[in-house]
């Protein structure tokens, strides 16, 4: 018997009930099936077979027709009454149309005549196994999709409207933002576009354009029902049916009003720069367009499971990744201490905040290098211990390539905000740019990679953003601060962190850490928390050193600039106490180059 065309691995997933009254036939087929399927239950009549079905609920029932007590068709009718979708194979020595017709009426699709063609039976079982697997995967996908929909509905601000612009659904968060109830919104025109210009014809024309483009993205300013102003980032997507015809529109919004309230500094120029803040929401847009890439990491750092999006991005299969080190995927190009820094930073951030936001370059084998924006969360068991880590990532490689110009705009915007603080405190305007360039230089020399160094150069000017909460009397005092005044001044680190921590984006999270930690000392005597050594992020340690270096060499309202030799001697005296010893050594080694950078950006 040649059975090499059968995929026996698929048969191993089946649980089969076999009902046959003929002992010789039963024993022969039982011996064949028992070696190839997961479980085999055998009965010699329909009554016994039905009892076994009720007890074990097998995947497939194989039954003869003519049997004592209860025949195969009667038993099949009872089974179909319990489980209408049950897979049943009828075996009969009677090549009778009547039996086939009765089986079809019961919804039985599989009918084989005796003597049994073993290869045909096994092929049929292989096909049924494939159907059961597909049905199981479909059920899991539908359940996962339902959970994703629920998660989106819980977390996002969502509305749906039909082709005529009438609202068909809004969630509770939409009502909270708008001030309208569901009853007031459903059945009316979608308000947050229609109210912008008050022109219904323009709104309907917009819907026609949207049907062709399929997606619209913008930042809008509007008012709630109570007249309160708000700002939102809106993405509207056309939902199509199986014929690619638009059925409805789904609008998802992010309320970014708090960003503008925090950074509103009595200047119209900042309001005109509203579009520059759209990059803060780029991760969100990409999540909607691409979908999430999931990777589960064990406590030993090895990958436990991945989804298809993650595999597709790295151009490999799940079997290639499972059991591999997640850190081993981090690109080694100019990496230096990147992997070590990544592990320390992630664990420290999860311990403090419950999650870690990361911007990573990942690569598998000879495949392409991909840039991911990732949120890594510790998953705890019932005892509260870390069971594993979940990395939820978005592939932002193409967006970074297409939007490098936005990075420069973002940098200037952050400089602008920092300079508002510097100007308010009557300090040199170029202090921020010197801190940025020297911090970037030290990060490169430390081997932290081009991407990290660039991010540090962009975010370091935000280190003193918390000074917007310090009174002018203290900021502008020409003499030395009293002890109580200095305690107030020290709060700017926490104030800066509180302003920035609410934006869960990699750049802003780095800026938040810098604002929070740039006055921490390596020996734990700094503020506001008293972190020690590598508890302080590497970006916090770098900016702490560079900020003091440049401040000592700059004229302030309360002092004259120090000489270069005096500055270096002071910094070396604080090695291992206020500053990271490794960074002090690096600054000393490249002191002439750092002085040159400072002089190029002199006031």
| DSSP string covering 485-545 | HHHHHHTHHHHHHHHHTTS-SHHHHHHHHHHHHTT--TTS--SSS---GGGS-HHHHHHHH
- CA separation for the pair 537, 534 (Å, rounded): 6
Residues 448 and 572 placed together within one structural domain of the fold: yes
SS3 358: strand
* Co-location of 380 and 425 in the same domain: no
Q: What Cα–Cα distance (Å) separates residue 569 from each residue in 23, 301, 451, 552, 573?
A: 99, 43, 32, 12, 6
pLDDT greater at residue 423 or residue 525: 525
What is the dihedral angle through the alpha carbons of 316, 319, 323, 325, rounded to the nearest 10 degrees? Answer: 0
Note whether 516 and 581 are same-domain residues.
yes
Cα gap 478→556, rounded to integer Å: 9
Lowest mean pLDDT among 175-189, 444-458, 486-500: 175-189
CA distances to 183, 372, 443, 507 from 336, rounded to whole Å, are: 59, 19, 10, 21
On whether residue 281 sits in a domain, the answer given is no
Number of domains within the chain: 4
Residue 478, pLDDT > 80, answer no
* CA distance linking residue 103 with residue 282, whole number of Å: 58
What CATH number should be reported for the domain holding residue 355? 3.30.450.20
Q: Are residues 123 and 184 in the same domain?
A: no
Q: How confident is the model at residue 266 (pLDDT cuts 50, 70, 90)?
A: very low
| Alpha carbon distance 276, 260 (integer Å) | 12
Q: Does residue 532 share a domain with residue 446?
A: yes
Rounded distance, CA 128 to CA 134, Å?
10
Q: Which of 343, 367, 398 is where one domain is finished?
A: 398
CATH code where residue 68 lies:
3.40.50.2300
Quote the CA–CA distance of 343 and 327 in Å, as a whole number: 8
Q: What is the pLDDT of residues 208-250, one digit of tens each?
A: 777 666 677 777 777 788 888 777 778 888 777 777 787 888 8
Mean pLDDT (whole number) for 321-350: 70
In the chain, the percentage of residues whose pLDDT exceeds 90 is 25
- CATH number for the domain harbouring residue 477: 1.10.3210.10
410 and 387, same structural domain?
no
Mean per-residue pLDDT, 537-555: 92
585 vs 442: CA distance, rounded Å: 11
Nearest 5°: CA angle at 7, between 6 and 9? 140
Q: Does 279 map to a domain?
A: no
In the three-class reduction of DSSP (H, G, I as helix; E, B as strand; rest coil), residue 253 is classed as strand
Task: Please tell me the least confidently modeled range out of 67-81, 175-189, 482-496.
Answer: 175-189
Top mean-pLDDT range of 244-248, 327-331, 539-543: 539-543
User: Residue 273 has what pLDDT?
Assistant: 45
The 10s digit of each residue's pLDDT in 33-77 is 988 899 999 999 999 999 999 999 999 999 988 888 888 889 999
Average confidence (pLDDT) over 12-31: 90
pLDDT of 179 reads 84
Q: Which residue has the higher pLDDT, 60 or 413?
A: 60
Cis peptide before 528 (omega within 30 of 0): yes
332 or 278, greater pLDDT: 332
555 Cβ neighbours under 8 A, 6+ residues apart:
428, 561, 603
Residue 284 placed within a domain:
no
Q: Do 408 and 394 fall into the same domain?
A: no
CA–CA gap between residue 271 and residue 264 (Å, rounded): 8
Q: Is residue 146 part of a domain?
A: no
User: At 142, is the pLDDT very low, low, confident or very high (cuts 50, 70, 90)?
Assistant: low
Residue matched to tokens 């589960």: 296
Tell me if 368 is assigned to some domain.
yes
Contact criterion met (CB below 8 Å) for 34 and 42: no
pLDDT at 359: 79
Q: Is the pLDDT of residue 394 over 90?
A: no
Average pLDDT over residues 94-101: 66
- Higher local confidence (pLDDT), 29 or 1: 29
First to last CA, the chain: 91
Q: Sorting pLDDT into bands at 50, 70 and 90, what band is 276?
A: very low
Same domain, 412 and 387: no
452 pLDDT higher than 70 = yes
- For residue 158, list its beta bridge partners: 252
Last residue of a domain, one of 379, 398, 417: 398
From 37-51, 332-346, 498-512, 559-573, the region with the lowest mean pLDDT: 332-346
Question: Is residue 363 domain-resident?
Answer: yes
Whether cis (ω within 30° of 0) applies to the bond prior to 115 is yes
Does 328 reside within a domain? yes
Q: Which residue did the predictor score with more confidence, 50 or 292? A: 50
Sign of CA dihedral 521, 527, 529, 530: positive
Do 407 and 515 lie in one domain? The reply is yes
Highest mean pLDDT among 149-153, 314-318, 373-377, 542-546: 542-546
Is there a single domain that holds both residue 57 and residue 160? no
Which pLDDT band, with edges at 50, 70 and 90, does 261 fall under? low
Q: Are residues 392 and 314 in the same domain?
A: yes
Q: Report the pLDDT value the prediction gives residue 140, as an integer from 0 to 100.
A: 72
The whole-number average pLDDT for the span 106-130 is 85
Q: What is the pLDDT of residue 339?
A: 56
3 within a domain of the structure (yes/no): no
Give the separation between CA 304 and CA 568, rounded to whole angstroms. Answer: 49
Residue-number span of the structural domain to which 482 is assigned: 403-600
Of 105, 135, 165, the position where a domain reaches its end is 135
Count Cβ atoms below 10 Å from residue 84 Cβ, excluding itself: 9
State whether 121 and 177 are in the same domain. no
* Angle formed by the axes of helices 431-446 and 591-600, nearest 10°: 150
């Amino acid at each position: 018997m040649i059975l090499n065309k059968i995929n026996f691995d698929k048969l191993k997933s089946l649980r089969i009930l076999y009902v046959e009254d003929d002992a010789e036939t039963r024993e022969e087929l039982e011996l064949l099936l028992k070696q190839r399927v997961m479980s085999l239950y055998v009965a010699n009549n329909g009554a016994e077979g039905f009892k076994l079905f009720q007890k074990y609920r097998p995947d497939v029932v194989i039954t003869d027709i003519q049997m004592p007590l209860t025949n195969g068709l009667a038993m099949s009718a009872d089974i179909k009454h319990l489980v209408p979708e049950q897979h049943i194979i009828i075996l009969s020595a009677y090549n009778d149309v009547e039996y086939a017709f009765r089986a079809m009426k019961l919804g039985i699709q599989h009918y084989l005549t005796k003597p049994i063609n073993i290869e045909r039976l096994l092929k049929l079982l292989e096909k049924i196994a494939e159907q059961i697997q597909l049905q199981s995967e479909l059920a899991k996908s539908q359940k996962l999709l339902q959970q994703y929909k629920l998660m989106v509905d819980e977390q996002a601000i969502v509305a749906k409207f039909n082709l005529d612009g009438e609202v068909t659904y809004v969630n509770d968060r939409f009502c909270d933002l708008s001030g309208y109830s569901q009853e007031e919104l459903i059945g009316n025109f979608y308000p947050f576009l229609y109210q912008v210009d008050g022109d219904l014809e323009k709104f309907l024309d917009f819907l026609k354009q949207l049907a062709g483009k399929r997606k619209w993205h913008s930042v809008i300013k509007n008012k709630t029902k109570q007249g309160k102003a708000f700002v939102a980032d809106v993405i509207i997507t056309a939902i199509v049916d199986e014929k690619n015809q638009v059925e409805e529109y789904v609008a998802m919004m992010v309320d970014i009003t708090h960003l503008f309230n925090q950074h509103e500094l009595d200047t119209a120029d900042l309001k005109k720069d509203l579009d520059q803040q759209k990059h803060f929401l780029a991760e969100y847009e990409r999540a909607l367009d691409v979908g999430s890439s999931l990777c589960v990491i064990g406590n030993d750092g090895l990958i436990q499971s991945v989804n298809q999006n993650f595999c597709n991005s790295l151009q490999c299969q799940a079997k290639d990744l499972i059991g591999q080190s997640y850190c081993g995927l981090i690109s080694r190009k100019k990496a230096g201490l990147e992997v070590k820094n990544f592990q320390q930073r992630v664990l420290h951030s999860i311990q403090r905040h419950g999650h870690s936001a990361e911007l990573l370059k990942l690569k598998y084998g000879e495949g392409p290098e991909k840039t991911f924006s990732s949120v890594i969360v510790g998953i705890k068991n019932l005892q509260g211990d870390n069971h594993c880590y979940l990395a939820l990532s978005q592939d932002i490689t193409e967006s970074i390539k297409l939007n490098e110009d936005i990075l420069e705009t973002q940098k200037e915007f952050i400089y602008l905000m920092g300079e508002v603080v510097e100007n308010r405190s009557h300090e040199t305007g170029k202090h921020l740019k010197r801190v940025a360039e020297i911090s970037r230089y030290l990060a490169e020399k430390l081997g932290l990679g081009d991407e990290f160094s660039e991010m540090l150069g962009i975010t370091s000017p935000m280190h003193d953003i918390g000074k917007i909460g310090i009174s002018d009397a203290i900021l502008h005092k020409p003499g030395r601060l009293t002890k109580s005044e200095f305690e107030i001044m020290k709060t700017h680190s926490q104030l800066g962190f509180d302003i920035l921590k609410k934006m869960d984006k990699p750049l802003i999270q780095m800026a938040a850490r810098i604002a929070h930690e740039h006055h921490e000392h390596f020996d734990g005597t700094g503020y506001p928390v008293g972190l020690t050594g590598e508890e302080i992020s590497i970006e916090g340690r770098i900016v702490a050193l560079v900020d003091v270096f440049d401040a000592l060499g700059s004229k302030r309202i309360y002092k004259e600039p120090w000489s270069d030799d005096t500055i270096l001697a002071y910094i070396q005296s604080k090695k291992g106490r206020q500053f990271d010893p490794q960074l002090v050594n690096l600054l000393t080694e490249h002191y002439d180059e750092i002085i040159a950078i400072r002089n190029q950006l002199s006031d």
